[in-house]
Chain A
Amino acid sequence: MKTIKNFRFVVLSLLLTVQTAKAAVWENTRTWSSDEEVSYSQWVKANWRNDFFTLETLPSGEANPFKGLRLDCADTVYSMRIIYSYVRRLPFAILDPSGGNRLITNQMKRFDRLPSEAEKARAFLTMMFDVVSTHSVPNDTFPIALSQTAVRPGALILTTEVNHHSWTIKDILDIGVPFLIFNSTVGRSSSIILQQRQSWPNGVWVFEGNHTPEGNAGFRDWRPLEYLQQPVWTVPGYSVEQYQIAAGKWSTEGQRRLQNRKEGTSAKLVRLAGAACEDLKQRVSAVQEGVQYLRDSGGACMNFATFDQYSTPSRDHRLFDSLADVRRAFVKASKSGAQKIDATVLKQMLKIFPQPGASAREELNGQDKAPIDANSICVVKYAKGQSIDLAEAKRRMFSGLLSSSPMDDMDYRWGNKVSPSPLARSCQSWELWTPNVNEAN
């Protein structure tokens, strides 16, 4: 009897050992190839949506194990590639961001205790969120040429360390504009819907501080697995050509290169205004988070980390850039004949930018507070009983009335009162941002 028990124990141990040895987050049943890369790109274009993390099922029909996750910008970039790898049961690996030349792969055993691949995949992705960041993206990707063959759905855009931001590319519209999906995370109570925009990021902001290959900013794509431990310049398709384009012309030159047809004047204005509107809406939730924290903390001064978390200098800069993009497009359209602009769009634009023939500063000096009316676009409620349209948001933004300081309460953050508040003045502040209206010309 003892012998039989021993035998059972031995067999069980052997089975467990073999099972442990084979355990992975998911078992690979395919390998990456050029065809698989095409399939990846098509999958991203078709399925990578801003509501992806709210879906009950994956496009394949299986339950969505990633439902409910909240992502920052780097999480979003990695999720796009990891989830596709999981769905197709392809190998996934990144270079260990904590140093050395080892890989973190879906063959890791940390999640062996979990019963299903779906649960392991979710745990793996969540673990990755704590490991990766915009700092690790250059290790796992490579810079590509700004061309129709290189820039594809599934690639990404990275900024320099100054602004440490990234976007996934869902698609390149036939007018040469990237359809971008990016982070959901603003704070603890933010939405799980990802953000999206159909416009070029401001090249000056993307390459701020380092418009060279070593800044790592611009368009990038995923390194094939076999190149993760190889020098980046050996990756097929590696190109630093995009750094020869002036940062200020990156978007216009990029659109010219990537477009298959020219965009109509009115359509462009509507699209750019839509992108600015998205930025405005996102500011509402970001400011709400900060104000709520300030109230919950009883108006206590913040330490550096908390201040950094709830301040909005980058976000406000992006909103300014988006508004400046609309203005520049409207000024250009007006110079070439306002009759080309749809009558309704023209009225909406004139409400936001009443003097397209003047400089941005001259226009601002003559611009009064804009009430919400029939020509208002993007009416957004930012606080109880308080709404704002894009015209008034532009006036306040260009006037420097919108505060990015988390030590300011709602009225100061939105420019009903002039920042800094007495509380903000009494506490230490760190990096904040103020607009230079001349940059909107």
Chain B
Amino acid sequence: MSMRQTSRALLLIVGVLLAWFTLREKAPAPGSSPVTASSSDLPHLSLSPTPTPPLAPPTLSPNAFITEFKKCFPNSETSPHSPDEWLLQAEQNGEIESRQLTLQNLHRRDSSGLERRMQIAPTETQAEIREFDVDEEGLPTPLATPLVIPLEQVNQVRDDFLRQGEKIYEQRKENLRFKNGLHGVVEWENQKTRDLQIFNGQRGFYCRSNECTCKGIR
């Protein structure tokens, strides 16, 4: 093989490697598929299903869900087939006493294709707001120092953020309190239940997507 052939071969290898690294870095993050943009804090429980698939496909059949559900909530009069359905029914039936947002992550993409992220962490009276750029590895780059604002300004700040692009991802964590004493936490990802933990005295009902289990509290 001549020197020219060798250099061509190496150039080809370099090209392939560069392309591979470049494409690999541009691959979308799991769960970051687009969802319908919204500028308001929508109550997800009442939203219709979105085309976004859950992160982990359900591995249990609906019957398996009900079996676990009934283990933890033997006196429940409902027979839901999924965590989303159960929460929706509970909301519609007025069984949920309170829903408290504890964390929200929003990702938006502007018209030039740049991604920007906002994290909202509210407490009783205030909220901490963090904004991030995203580097070529898809990792967050903090912008300025976190902003602390009164709670009543959160909607305005969130709306301003979303107005500047298309919402491509949303994650919400809420603490739930039911009128019958159940309590727990739900994490929504693109308006679908990702993780759910509901505590019922000595038992915990735990779900990732539709895969649920009822376990005694240790």
Contact = CB atoms under 8 A, between A and B. Distances in A.
Question: How many interface residues does chain A have, given as a range?
Answer: 35 or more
Contacts of B183: 212, 214
Contact of B3 (A3, A127, A131, A164): A3
A102 interface: yes
Given A131-B140, A241-B217, A214 B197 contact: yes
A340 interface: no
Contacts of A213: 184-185, 197, 199, 204
Interface string A3-42: 1101100110110011011000000000000000000000
Interface of B: 3-4, 6-7, 10-11, 13-14, 17-18, 21, 29-32, 55, 102-103, 105-107, 117, 119, 121, 123-126, 128, 130, 132, 135, 137-142, 145-150, 169-171, 175, 183-185, 195, 197, 199, 204, 206, 208, 215, 217-218
Contact of B139 (A21, A110, A240): A110
Contact of A96 (B128, B139, B146): B139
Contacts, number: 143
Interface in A289-335: 304-305, 308-309
B150 A3 contact: no
Given A10-B7, A213-B199, A304-B148, A97 B217 contact: no
Contact of A99 (B117, B121, B204): B117
Given A210-B175, A231-B208, A233-B197, A3 B4 contact: yes
Interface string A109-143: 11000000000000000010011010100000000
Interface string A255-276: 0000000000000000000000
Contact of A133 (B123, B128, B135): B128
A431 interface: yes
A385 interface: no
Contacts of B103: 135
A104 B139 contact: yes
Contact of A10 (B10, B170, B195): B10
A162 B197 contact: no
Contacts of B197: 213-214, 232-233
A407 B13 CA distance: 65
Contacts of A162: 123-124
A108 interface: yes
Q: Can you list the 9 inter-chain pairs with the closest CB atoms, starting with the nearest?
A: A99-B105, A214-B185, A130-B142, A98-B140, A10-B10, A135-B121, A98-B117, A99-B171, A233-B206
B218 A240 contact: yes
B3 A7 contact: yes
A239 interface: yes
A3 B7 contact: yes
B7 A6 contact: yes
Contacts of A4: 3
Contacts of A58: none
A422 interface: no
Given A10-B14, A98-B107, A233-B197, 13 more contacts: A3-B4, A10-B11, A14-B10, A17-B14, A17-B18, A21-B17, A97-B105, A98-B105, A100-B32, A110-B135, A133-B146, A145-B218, A240-B199
A80 B52 CA distance: 38
